[in-house]
Amino acid sequence: MTGKFISFEGGDGAGKSTQLTLLSGDLEALGRRVILTREPGGTRLSEQIRSWVLHESDALCKQAELLLIFAARAQHISEVIRPALLRGDWVLCDRFTDASYAYQGGGRGIPVGFIQQIEAVSTEGMRPDLTLLLDLPVIQGIERSVGRGQGSDRFEEQDLEFKQRVRQAYLGRQSDEPDRIRMIDATKSVESVHTQIWDLVSNLIDREDG
């Protein structure tokens, strides 16, 4: 595959959407073709699953939640991500598999080994070239989310302890895979966060051009 795949991860209020848009603009200015997408979602079927998982009033058991998210991911990879990478496009994705380890693993308590088994079947080895973990304290993230004045989903409505577990799971993932998952200090200004991201993405561009 000749394209590049970058995923954005982080908890509530981390500013992923803003940074995705900024990075997309920078890459397009350099002549790269960019696909902006998200998880769960990115295809018609996957967006339907997203609606069930994030907004369905009927309670989902944690195993069903995990399986639905990976079903959406498998369709997303098949229909959007892999074809784009084969064309040589850059794919910028709001969340990918690391989110399942953070939310369903850390948050819900599903064993890592079980998630790994589902990942192996669903993704067929698809992994981002670079994952940007926008990290900030949970309380600060909640305050930012409240300030946006937007409706919340099932994960944003979880209690503080759940969100703390999610953050710790993300930090654990980054510690285990520091070359792929790069830490971004999301407590800084939008401009500072963008600079941190661009410094890392520039390395990918240099390797591509070289």
* 149 band by pLDDT with thresholds 50, 70 and 90: low
* Structural domain boundaries in the chain: 4-209
Q: What is the pLDDT of residue 108?
A: 97
pLDDT digits (tens, 9 = 90+) for 150-191: 557 889 889 999 999 999 999 999 999 999 999 999 999 999
Query: Which pLDDT score, from 0 to 100, does residue 94 have?
Result: 98
- The DSSP line for 86-115 is HHT-EEEEE--HHHIIIIIIIIT---HHHH
pLDDT 10s digits, 78-114: 999 999 999 999 999 999 999 999 999 999 999 999 9
Domain 4-209 sits in CATH 3.40.50.300: yes
**Are the C-beta atoms of residues 92 and 28 closer than 8 Å to each other?**
no
Strand blocks (E) in 47-147 = 90-94, 130-135
Token digits of residue 58? 């009927």
Portion of the chain with pLDDT greater than 70, in percent:
96
User: What's the whole-model pTM score?
Assistant: 0.94
Single-letter amino acid code for the residue at 151: G
Mean pLDDT of all residues belonging to the chain: 94
Minimum mean pLDDT range among 54-58, 115-119, 177-181: 54-58
